[in-house]
Amino acid sequence: MAWSCNARVQVGAMLLALFGWVSSCVTTFVPLWKNLNLDLNELEIWTMGLWQVCIMQEEGATECKAHDSFLALPLELRVSRVLMCLSNGLGLLALLFASVGLECWKTCEGKPNAKKQLLLAGGAAFGAAGITTLVPISWVAYTTVLEFWDEAVPDIVPRWEFGEAMFLGWFAGSFLAAGGLLLIYSTCLSRTGTPAITETTERCYFLGVCEDLPYFLDSAQNRN
């Protein structure tokens, strides 16, 4: 069965949002938000995430240690923990809503308004998940830049730089937001057929007399 243009837009939006959600989850837990290269020991690279700090050695060994206390973390990392976990939860909720509302699925068949509401809820949740991913990533990036160019810190002191997870987080937030907007847009696409036909089809499903649908559609076309 060939998919309509609307169904293709919805599937494309879901794939974008799914990739963004998975990337956001990875960003939340990997200790690669910041990198620190020590001039005194170039064989070691320090990396920091929301949950732990790791030391990566040249021979491949990695040693990680969890942050001692949540309250001891800088403000931006504490807020980032909360927002990133919220983003992951919103993304999961959006996946559940939007999956049921997809046109290509037979769930809620005969209830186009219900499917539309589910798509709107899923799109809004994806958009919120994208925002709650971009905000902490951008905040941590901003403070990292400020600290890197802080003239009060002697040049000999190593500076933290952007880690790979920062860039992954920007992509994740963008894909989540784009997927959410596309899902919302798909609900605004005009349906094929005249308003009378659309109304008659919905009424037919509601009354449970869909075996007589061709007769009702002919009547609707004659009225137009």
Per-residue pLDDT of the chain (224 residues; tens, 9 = 90+): 456 777 888 999 999 999 999 999 999 999 999 999 876 666 788 999 999 999 988 777 889 999 988 999 999 999 999 999 999 999 999 999 999 888 876 665 666 688 889 999 999 999 999 999 999 999 999 999 999 998 888 877 888 999 999 999 999 999 999 999 999 998 887 454 444 444 444 454 445 544 444 544 455 444 44
Verify that 23 and 66 share a domain, yes or no.
Answer: yes
What are the distances in angstroms from CA 11 to CA 17, 152, 175, 177?
A: 10, 52, 14, 15
Does 218 share its domain with 185?
no
39 and 133 fall within a common domain: yes
211 and 161 inside one domain: no
pLDDT of residue 215: 47
